[in-house]
A and B are shown apart, each in its own frame.
Chain A
Amino acid sequence: MMIATRELTKRFKSVTAVDGITLDVAEGELVALLGPNGAGKSTTLRMLTTLIPPTAGSAEVAGLDVVTRQREVRRRIGYIGQGNGAGHSQRGRDELISQGRAYGLPVRQARARATELIDSLGLGEVADRAVSTLSGGQRRRLDIAMGLFHAPELLFLDEPSTGLDPQNRANLQEHIVRLRREHGTTIVLTTHYLEEADSLAERVIVIDHGRIIADDSPERLKAKHVGDRIVLTFHSEEDAGRAAHLLQAARKDDQVTADNGPAQVPEILEELRTAGLTPAAVETRRPTLDDVFLTLTGRSLRDETPEA
């Protein structure tokens, strides 16, 4: 196991930020922690990256206890936090070289690796400028270059795409996918962007109030907790009523909830035709992770305003 936590808990005075999280992540997994602001995602990551000690419970990262073997853990992991890793008065290339030196690389090697990462992240034009003059997207790429510098076997990213425009967000996701494909890096990221969790991760862990409330692949989460929706539109109110009665659907805007919706459409149409009903339009709606969250908590993630 790359990560193994048991009842991991963090309390800040009156707030229980993380409330007994038990979690295993295997080597090579790409996991997204999804949850609203204040759910405890960052706090979980900060415990796993040795930044703060747990109040209770335990966590092992790469087989090493995060409290008693901090320095060894730090050697193995990369961490790209919510903020910007590069000092604003520094130059990007200098910061990359310092990063390499921090992991014990000789200057010459650190310099070569810096150049390599600058090229692969397209930072050539800006690497020798003060970090304070870079755009948000450029800074984020620099953060990623720093996180990848020592080629960690396990990479944590906290809200990696917050503040990025769609173009940069897509670039970032591409990098994450490539990293995984080319190096088999285990990746744990947090996000409150549903689409990101959905398109990027094979495993989504939904967190709310410091607890895991669901943990599965996006597809299975949707199938299990929501199911597909089939929306039938009729020419008249009366027809709609009859159809609903016939299908005994959970009524809401003439929607029918079903497992594997598209495959059921022909059957439903056949049933309706037998009763002399013809819908004006048929639409199947696959659920989003937001629907999953809504079902699980009664709240929508979309109401959340992003916060740094």
Chain B
Amino acid sequence: MSSLVTDTRVVFSRELRPVLRSPFSIVFSMVQPLFFLALFAPLLPDGTSLQWFVPGIIVMSCLFGTSMTGSNLLYEIQTGSHERMLVTPLRRPALLIGRALKEIVPMLAQAVLIVLVCVPFGFRLHPLGAVFGLLILAGFCVGLGALSYTLALASKNQEWLFWTVQQTLLFPLLLLAGVLLPIEDGPAWLRFLSKINPMTYVVNAERGLFDGDVWSRASGYGLIAAAAVALVGLMIGVRAMQRSD
């Protein structure tokens, strides 16, 4: 008999299949972060190095990819394949959790690619820290993916709504996390907004971790922030999926 776990696995592998069938789609989705890397890195002020910049770009590419992932569901809602899945005995929570978990796979591929591209330019990788960093990132991606799917479920037939909300949130989240420019010297209100952005803690944690500073306070905060995003995202997402028709 099926359980939530086997149902989730069915959904997960269904979602993953198109990615595996055309792995180059991941490479194409990398073009944007690589542009940021190539065009921003030379502008970095003195004292900020690749070591500071690259982890942020990895989180950014994770944000870009997973925040858009709801559009796949949106499309399936419009064409009717979501409805078809809703009539199967698959448990509703599995329909969301399986999709959200799949986000980990392209995220891992992207992170590895970015690191590989940057290592020749002097980016140093600390294996233990990197593994821990990717774990935090995985949690963050699952949560973001779940939220993106929630947005898709809420938008239903209004595609514009999905894209408006996604685009509106994307850049504030990115900039307030101090990915492209440091926040520390900004005005108080900006620092405050940055403090309440969970992505800030994820980015800070990644910077420390990729630099080999594993057992730090920043890593702890990053872990908590990612776990919180994952938990909240999945809870909201599962509720939305249970109400989906």
Contact = CB atoms under 8 A, between A and B. Distances in A.
A91 interface: yes
A102 B245 contact: no
A98 B14 contact: yes
B118 interface: no
Contacts of A83: 78-81, 83
Contacts of A295: none
A88 B84 contact: no
Contacts of A49: 87
Interface string B4-24: 001100100110011001000
B2 interface: yes
Contacts of B91: 71
B94 to A, nearest CB: 9
A84 B79 contact: yes
A187 to B, nearest CB: 16
B88 A89 contact: no
Contacts of A74: 87-89
Given A88-B75, A90-B18, A102 B80 contact: no
Interface in A46-104: 46, 49-52, 71, 74-75, 77, 79, 81-91, 94-95, 98-99, 101-104
B1 A46 contact: no
Contacts of B125: none
Nearest to B83: A81
Nearest to A82: B80
A212 interface: no
A247 to B, nearest CB: 53
A21 interface: no
Interface residues of A, number: 31
Contacts of A79: 84, 87
Interface in A84-127: 84-91, 94-95, 98-99, 101-104
B32 interface: no
Contacts of B90: 102
A146 interface: yes
Nearest to B91: A71
B50 interface: no
Contacts of A85: 80-81, 83-84
B76 interface: yes
Interface string B80-110: 1101111111110000000000000000000
B10 A101 contact: yes
A75 B84 contact: no
B72 interface: yes
A90 B78 CA distance: 15
Contacts of A84: 79-81
Interface in B158-196: none
Contact of A89 (B2, B6, B72, B89): B72
A79 B1 CA distance: 22
Contact of B18 (A51, A82, A89, A104): A89
Contacts of A87: 14, 18, 76, 79, 81
Interface of B: 1-2, 6-7, 10, 13-14, 17-18, 21, 72, 75-76, 78-81, 83-91, 245
5 contacts: A71-B89, A79-B87, A90-B14, A91-B21, A103-B88
Given A74-B88, A90-B14, A102-B88, 10 more contacts: A51-B87, A81-B83, A83-B79, A87-B18, A94-B17, A95-B81, A101-B13, A102-B89, A104-B6, A146-B84
